[in-house]
Amino acid sequence: MAYLFTSESVSEGHPDKIADQISDALLDNFLAFDPESKVACETLVTTGQVVLAGEVKSNTYVDLQNIAREVINNIGYTKGAYQFSGDSCGVISLIHEQSQDINQGVDRGSKEEQGAGDQGMMFGYASKETENYMPLALDISHKILQELAALRREGKQISYLRPDAKAQVTIEYSDDNVPQRIDTIVVSTQHDDFDANDEKMLAQIKSDIISILMPKVIAQFPEKVQALFTSKIQYHINPTGKFVIGGPHGDTGLTGRKIIVDTYGGKGAHGGGAFSGKDPSKVDRSAAYAARHAAKNLVAAGIADEILVQVSYAIGVVEPTSIYVDTYGTAKVNLTDGEIAKIVAQIFDMRPFAIEDRLKLRNPIYLETAAYGHMGKEPKTITKVFESPYNGKVEKEVELFTWEKLDMVSAVKTAFNL
């Protein structure tokens, strides 16, 4: 019998995502001036206030307040009507030095012997369902909000948009797990109060989302996915009514509260650890990226149509405590999942420093991960500029989303005799 599966995404202006972006911007600035920085930054945003907390061990000093304000303004919170803006909000810093008890288990004489920054399990997932090996419902949800943000910044076709938004997509699948059609699309977007007649205003918003936004989203997909967007889709656009009060004035935001949006939209599994604000010695982040890198390359190499990779650690211990693989019965090789996992452990070095080195994670590459998902984006090289009143100006050429590269397909095929 056919079944339905749903994933959601949130915009860069969602309160939790504002917090994630501030935390990762702080991390990037520390890494830009001191690549060996140990950082765990948490952010809280609410009406007119930003609170920064966490632990940092670094040889540099950064202007925390200015960085937070710049992120908020770049997102689009620049007007007094939002009750939250980068120029006027208060920024309180409660950041202190990292505990020596934690640091002694991580730092070693040899970088190769660096221990895991914490215990825990991390998951990576990949599927042939989309061209970027991501779950389709999540991929569509992200693209809806990315296009919505582009329309907001353009300010021409839809001029009333505000930064806070959410999207949700429900897909009908056949018994053999093949997408059949898109059943429901939910979009809730913050907006100006541009008409005294609420019903007329909401009708305008619904019309614009369906007739202006959705064609831009649909055009980004290949024909087989476009065919899933039928005339029978149920649209729920701002289903609670008008959505004028939003952002941190409407809801408090915290770093790390959108971990399913950040990963696979509920497909696969999640170990529970958040990413943003954490330097790569924290395996919550680096090992999750490494597990995605492994899963994606395994699927691309033809090992299975769908793969989940789990890796786990003990704090301060170099080697992972386990590596697990689940192919969901889609394996194309004559091996059990346990046998596949043993080969994966030989191909992909999951020691913390090996992950940092292989994926170039000691670079300031993290602000770009903090909205619209950490997985499924296109790897690319860019130049980033960082300025500090204490350290001057530095330009760095960095490679973004290295864990999305299909650079291990050949090695995987060789290891599996394909």
Asked whether residue 98 is marked as a ligand-binding residue, the answer is yes
Determine how β-strand 253-254 pairs with β-strand 234-237: unpaired
Asked whether residue 278 is marked as a ligand-binding residue, the answer is yes
**DSSP designation for 110:** S
Question: By C-alpha distance, which of 128, 379, 136 is closest to 266?
Answer: 136
Helix 64-75, helix 15-33: angle, nearest 10: 130
**Contacts of the segment 82-87: beta carbons below 8 A, 24+ positions apart:** 82/162, 82/163, 82/246, 82/247, 82/249, 83/47, 83/48, 83/245, 83/247, 83/248, 83/249, 84/45, 84/47, 84/48, 84/247, 84/248, 84/249
Question: By C-alpha distance, which of 126, 163, 160 is closest to 11?
Answer: 163
Asked whether residue 14 is marked as a ligand-binding residue, the answer is yes
Asked whether residue 242 is marked as a ligand-binding residue, the answer is yes
Single-letter residue type at 279: D
| Alpha-carbon span 190 to 332, nearest angstrom | 46
Determine how β-strand 179-191 pairs with β-strand 234-237: parallel
Asked whether residue 285 is marked as a ligand-binding residue, the answer is no
Asked whether residue 191 is marked as a ligand-binding residue, the answer is no
Cα 308 off chain centre by: 18
Asked whether residue 164 is marked as a ligand-binding residue, the answer is yes
Asked whether residue 236 is marked as a ligand-binding residue, the answer is no
H-run or E-run covering 179: strand 179-191
Asked whether residue 243 is marked as a ligand-binding residue, the answer is yes
Is the separation of the CB atoms in 110 and 274 below 8 Å?
A: no
Asked whether residue 55 is marked as a ligand-binding residue, the answer is yes
Q: What would the two tokens of residue 417 be?
A: 């005799």
Report the sign of the C-alpha dihedral through residues 77, 80, 83, 85, in that order: positive
DSSP 32-84: HH-TT-EEEEEEEEETTEEEEEEEEE-S----HHHHHHHHHHHHT---GGGT-
**C-alpha dihedral (66, 67, 68, 74), degrees to nearest 10:** 110
Is the separation of the CB atoms in 7 and 134 below 8 Å?
A: no
Q: What would the two tokens of residue 66 be?
A: 């200015």
Asked whether residue 257 is marked as a ligand-binding residue, the answer is yes
Q: Which residues participate in the annotated binding site for Mg(2+)?
A: 16
Q: Which residues participate in the annotated binding site for ATP?
A: 14, 164-166, 242-243, 251, 257-258, 274, 278
Q: Which residues participate in the annotated binding site for L-methionine?
A: 55, 98, 251, 282
Q: Which residues participate in the annotated binding site?
A: 14, 16, 42, 55, 98, 164-166, 242-243, 251, 257-258, 274, 278, 282
Q: Which residues participate in the annotated binding site for K(+)?
A: 42
